[in-house]
Amino acid sequence: MNTLLREEIFDRLNLSRDKVLDEMALLSANQRYSEHAMEVEYFEKKYNENFNSFDEKFRKSNVSYEMENDWMAWKFAEEGKNYWTSLLKDIEK
């Protein structure tokens, strides 16, 4: 995009380059949070429990290959959700 055109758009929308970058970063962070949260919700519905309960059962018994894969994906999703939640809270401060 032409620099002059970009600057005119920013000016007409009363935006600064920094404000636009901040908004884009916030949108990206919210998107990442949402992706992880949706995956956590999927597994909570699939197993009808939260990750901590599933993790306890997982560690105490022999599980199927599918459950092991789900455990890894769910753990990653939980960690990602927690990370982005924390980051978004810090941004709001």
From 25, 31, 47, select the one nearest 91 (Cα to Cα). 25
pLDDT single digits (tens) 65-91: 999 999 999 999 999 999 999 999 988
Is the model's pTM score more than 0.85?
no
Other C-beta atoms closer than 10 Å to the C-beta of 90 total 8
Residue range 26-39: average pLDDT?
97
pLDDT of res. 53: 96
Cα(81)–Cα(32) distance, rounded to whole angstroms? 8
pLDDT of res. 6: 80
